[in-house]
Amino acid sequence: MQKASPRLLGFIITLCGAILFSTKAIIVKLAFAQTAIDAVSLLTLRMVFSLPFYLLTAFLVSNRQGNIRMSRIQLLYTIGLGLLGYYLSSLFDFLGLQYISAGLERLILFLYPTFAVLITTFVFKQHLGRNQKWALLLTYLGIAIAYYGELQFDRSAGFLLGSFLVFLCALTYSGYIAFSGRLIPQIGAIKFTAYAMLAATVGVFSHFLISSGNTTRLTDPENWWYGLLLAVIATVIPSFLLSWGLKNIGANNVAIISSIGPVSTILQAHFILGEPIFPAQVAGTVLVIAGVLLLGRNRKE
């Protein structure tokens, strides 16, 4: 009973983080529709506005009393996971959103819990039970149904490319989740998130300078609002909320609560972007969420 309130708080915080994360695709699609900005420039703006928050956080947590310095190996792992989960993953996601709907993007991206389970099964040699296999089957069947339904509405030339890019996003993000869940308890959620995001920021800036270096779109005030919204509402706040959730209620509970993400995105996409809601999408979403819920229910912490 004494643990009920902190646990309830953990669930509420994680739920808020999941909903805020689900706004990312909506903001990105609005930016593409209302401005001439490209994916890499928009991602760079996102990191420009995120950078001060993570610099301040890294400074505060590294100088507080009782801080334990990261070992060289821990630092390297944190940098690598930051580049994997918030540079490569975000890059694939932003590029993919140029071609597919926000609703489909969220459904494909929501494959990451199943990929994380497969990583822990084959890399960390954790047993894959019968219920977990059913969960994987439900999730992939749901994606197939929703994807088939989406094909009936969208036959654009970049549809398959966009789907593949978001699939890569889900794959790289699952690696971030699977490995960070083992590192966060050692160095702390806030510290890990701050340093991982700083590493990702360096990756994004480097990519921008190498691929373009044209700062015209970065200095256009019309684009700043989208970068600021992506940074604060869809990146900084939810990243800390979900990292806090990973530490306090566990990765499985975070995965279960995050199942609200596809529903939240589909509803926002319908009412804000005017994207249609069709039966195959609803059926696929239900199966995907059921699979993730079953997956979380039958996994050990």
In this predicted structure, what is the pLDDT of residue 4?
52
Torsion angle (degrees, nearest 10) of CA 162, 256, 26, 236: -110
CA pair distance 200, 57, nearest whole angstrom: 15
pLDDT above 70 covers a percentage of the chain that reads 94
Look at the chain and report how many structural domains it folds into.
Answer: 1
pLDDT digits (tens, 9 = 90+) for 99-109: 999 988 988 98
Cβ count near 298 (within 10 Å) = 14
Burial of 170 (0-12, 13-18, 19+ CB in 10 A): buried
10: in domain: no
- Please indicate, yes or no, if residue 1 is contained in any of the structural domains: no
Q: Residue holding tokens 């995105």?
A: 265
Range of the domain at 140: 17-297
Within a domain: residue 49? yes
Q: What is the reported pLDDT for 301?
A: 43
Give the pLDDT confidence score for residue 181 in this predicted structure: 79
Residue 300 clears pLDDT 50, i.e. is over it: no
Q: What are phi and psi of 49, to 5 degrees?
A: -80, -20
The tokens of 48 are what? 């420009």
pLDDT, tens only, 145-182: 988 888 777 777 788 999 999 999 999 999 998 888 78
Averaged pLDDT for residues 12-41: 92
Instruction: Quote the pTM value.
Output: 0.86
Nearest residue to 61 via CA among 52, 51, 69, 72: 69
pLDDT in tens, 183-211: 888 888 788 888 999 999 999 999 999 98
Residue 7 lies in a domain: no
